[in-house]
Amino acid sequence: MSQNLFFNDDNIQLSESLRVIRTNLFFLNNKEAGRVILITSSVPKEGKSLLAINYAYSIAITGKKVLLIDCDLRCPRLNEAFNLNFNHGLESLLANNLEHEKIVIKNISKNLDFIPSKTVTSNPTELFLNDKFLTLLNTVKNNYNTIIIDTPPLTIASDAAILSKLSDGVVYVVAYDEVSAEDLKFGKELLKNAKANIYGFVVNKAEKNIGNYGRKYPYDYESSKDSKKSIFSLNFIKTFFGGRE
């Protein structure tokens, strides 16, 4: 995937939408250091990773220090957005005790650092069940205003639910008319059981498909054959998430 970032002056509508998201999340949690925000979705291809990248950029350009972490050990692709080649990522810290200084890529953009990941084929969820990721967060929190965690979709893995317990809040991305009501309910239930603090939702692709991120997500995903995609109204989604967007 070549670099395809929307937060720039060439796309005013998307840039303004990101500024609204940035402002709303600031009012929900405006602490000066160590704010941890997790971004997830129900299914692949809803645009959560693209949101994570652009949200990170939108904070960094204000002069705040940001750390973006790719926690999708099944399908790590954020590094492709930055055209990166790297030897070690988050998986090396979680599985092999590599020091965090050796996996943080500094100044991927001004005020923005990045921890990439490589694919883990054996028991990736279990790597988040020990204390190593918590230790990482506690070690770097004071160095950043905001830490953004990109996770796998909730219907693919429970990683987001596990990591939500280490986060201040969760942003749930919903691709308009691309996810079944059953999958949406399943994902929210996982977060509810984990007692996650759901900040709210972001409706993506409401007017048209934007960007190509996630088009080749290598999961063999199919919605339940007995369920049809719901044509969600925005009012339905607002009600589903308790009125917060």
CA distance 90 to 73: 8
Burial class (CB in 10 A: 0-12, 13-18, 19+), 173: buried
Helix (H, G, I), strand (E, B) or coil at 150: strand
Q: What is the pLDDT of residue 234?
A: 55
Residue 10 tokens read as 């060439």
**Burial letters for 178-192: b for 16+ Cβ neighbours within 10 Å, e otherwise?**
bbbbbbbeebbebbe
- Distances in Å between the Cα of 115 and the Cα atoms of 33, 88, 90, 148 are 18, 9, 6, 10
Residue 17 tokens read as 């939408």
Task: List the domains of the chain with CATH numbers.
Answer: 33-208+223-240 (3.40.50.300)
Written as tens digits, the pLDDT of the chain (245 aa) is: 334 455 555 667 777 888 889 999 998 888 889 999 999 999 998 989 999 999 999 999 999 999 999 999 999 989 888 888 899 999 999 999 899 999 999 999 999 999 999 999 889 999 999 999 999 999 999 999 999 999 999 999 999 999 999 999 999 999 877 888 889 899 999 999 999 999 988 887 765 443 433 333 333 333 333 334 444 555 555 666 665 55
CA distance 244 to 227: 26
Helix (H, G, I), strand (E, B) or coil at 81: helix
**Nearest 5 degrees, angle CA 7-CA 51-CA 233?**
115
Q: What is the pLDDT of residue 133?
A: 97
Q: What is the pLDDT of residue 179?
A: 83
CA distance 88 to 207: 39
Q: What is the pLDDT of residue 14?
A: 75
For β-strands 198-204 and 169-175, DSSP reports them as parallel
CB proximity list for 179: less than 8 A, separation 6 or greater: 41, 42, 43, 46, 223, 229, 230
* CB-side neighbour CA atoms (13 Å) of 179: 29
- Phi, psi for 90 (deg, rounded to 5): -55, -35
Q: What is the pTM of this model?
A: 0.84
